[in-house]
Structure 1
């Protein structure tokens, strides 16, 4: 059974939480580092702490730049574990942020974070679409090492910047050309997706980076009847095996495609949680089946974020939550975007 642990300050905190969960480093299948500008300025210390914590255990690592944290410290660490650690796949040796280790566990394929770089450094400097396409191509290369095609991608999270917000729709063409296929039900399917804006990238000069998950099980679209997705290159939910991978949810009315509850974090969160619940229900699941929530909160929403705890618990019980601060979201009115995952019991 896969165990998702919430982000905690630093690798020392992650080690303590892993021990409390009765798990060992050898069980890890994925690590996410949420790093502030301060941590990026001293990233060698973060890397050294990670290496000391892992002790030689090869695991895919996603390094995600954030504008801030909702807890102490310059960076936070989120762990995913599977007893025994699943199967290691090495597409190529790690070289800085050009990472090549994957793990396959419980039908989920955990990829490392993908930056627009090769072993020599940044690629396609100044070209947003080319960098984004490169990241998708890299995801396909990594999946190929695991014997899978790009159709195995079930969710992507894109990290871009406020300055390139107007260019973001240009991601649609490479997604349409490189992703998607026919689902297990014979209908078209694209991965779920989220788009997060962070103005200080992990890699200097990066205009787009990517986190992605794949699955060894055939995917199918989960959509509670929202017609807007018929023309988009992502879906509100993708079911593969026992796991439901969901897109990022913001306070956007799916019928009118207009942002709602401008300036009201609690109302936006209620709307978002209800949307997630609708996708869960379409898949035959409940809020109690959610095993991971990542909440990206804009600076304007930070002060009110602690007030969401009771509302979140009412919808999703004790689901692990990692909450971080982003620079902004794709719709300027959004104060929060939530990326969930659920598993059929």
Structure 2
């Protein structure tokens, strides 16, 4: 069964003509709803155009109002939200902590896994923050083995619904007489991150082999050491690697942090590693697989303009050509898993600053691969792609 597009009353967003765009506001399958990233964009009759107005707090309120409208259209509420990600512009960091009170107003006491990251900038130049969300139609269970540490914040270590565990992002640290000490060794930080994740999984009755998706947000200060962190992943996963992506961002909210690790796990059932025969020579050297299928979910590792048969970058510095190759790779993983592009419910497009000028051309690429059945989507500008020649990377999740 292909995804269901959440239809939002056009009167709620009269300025938004979705026919012009290549995303949906939300897409659902199997009771899991992925919402597109939302900024505070609204039509302002004074200048006669769509703008994001106000400071970070003003914009955050508008975003949560918009998320509420989309959730309502899906037959859900904020009580159903299991995970959020905040993408924050660097200029807004001084106010970011204050957004916690706004989250409390809308989320109430419902447990939510969450990650906040500082991107290079957002696609809308007047936007200070963008928020994406995932919601599930089911009973939530709090997973919190670290209750004392999470008493004052608006998120929890993990949330479980129907055997899916949605974890917050974690930066590894050591306890030094009650103070957090962050190692300058990237592999050590990642090792400590997995120690925290292990505690959450254990509290939920899960194991590392249940992790289907891992997303590493990488501080620029860690780029040289980041390849060494493969050792921590090998020790943690013991060969049962997830789909994974590493994204260099502007910085982590914790300035001493090198890498923040965000994961999703699925308990029980069979686990299928999606391998592409012609890609095996390259992937056997890596600590992740092209895709992992477990339960209703298929998570696909970040794909860029790389020919996996030889590991070479393709497309030159043509943004459209690079996006086309990235989506061709996504389609190949889906096909190998027995899925199609119509099963994709969400994409995140990661754009290097030097790719922004050509980004509009990627809309035609999305039309080529998705037709008119667009998933929810978020696009943000990051510090760089791990391979400096690349301008574009995309992650995707499919549901059946």
Same fold per superposition (TM over 0.5): yes
Shift of 1:25: 0.9
Larger radius of gyration: 2
Shift of 1:154: 1.3
Match of 2:255 in 1: 204
CA distance in 2: counterparts of 1:97 and 1:65, whole angstroms = 18
Structure 2 residue corresponding to 1:139, chosen from 193, 197, 200 = 197
- Deviation string 1:151-172 (CA, Å, 9 cap, x unpaired) is 2111111111334322221011
Shift of 1:127: 1.9
| CA spacing shift, 1:147–1:22, aligned 2, 3 Å | same
CA distance in 1: counterparts of 2:389 and 2:220, whole angstroms = 13
Give the paired residue count. 337
- Deviation string 1:34-76 (CA, Å, 9 cap, x unpaired) is 1121232211222122111101211111112211111342111
| CA spacing shift, 1:19–1:100, aligned 2, 3 Å | closer
**Structure 2 counterparts to residues 1-345 of structure 1, below 5 A:** 1-9=31-39, 10-71=63-124, 72-93=126-147, 94=150, 100-117=156-173, 122-181=180-239, 189-217=240-268, 218-225=270-277, 226-227=279-280, 228-316=282-370, 317-344=373-400
Shift of 1:138: 1.3
CA distance in 2: counterparts of 1:12 and 1:148, whole angstroms = 35
- Deviation string 1:196-215 (CA, Å, 9 cap, x unpaired) is 11132211111111111111
Q: Which segment drifts farther, 85-94 or 60-69?
A: 85-94
CA distance in 2: counterparts of 1:162 and 1:251, whole angstroms = 22
RMSD over equivalenced CA pairs, Å: 2.0
Q: Which segment drifts farther, 160-169 or 115-124?
A: 115-124
Shift of 1:97: 7.5
Shift of 1:12: 3.1
CA distance in 2: counterparts of 1:61 and 1:118, whole angstroms = 21
Q: Is the 8 A contact 1:297 1:324 kept in 2?
A: yes
| CA spacing shift, 1:319–1:86, aligned 2, 3 Å | same
CA distance in 2: counterparts of 1:121 and 1:340, whole angstroms = 38
CA distance in 1: counterparts of 2:162 and 2:354, whole angstroms = 38
Question: TM-score with structure 1 length normalisation?
Answer: 0.92
CA distance in 1: counterparts of 2:139 and 2:367, whole angstroms = 30
Structure 1 residue matching 2:201: 3-state secondary structure: helix
Q: Is the 8 A contact 2:174 2:192 kept in 1?
A: no
Structure 1 spans left out of the alignment, 5+ residues = 182-188
CA distance in 2: counterparts of 1:163 and 1:114, whole angstroms = 17
Match of 1:184 in 2: none
CA distance in 2: counterparts of 1:286 and 1:180, whole angstroms = 30
Shift of 1:310: 2.9
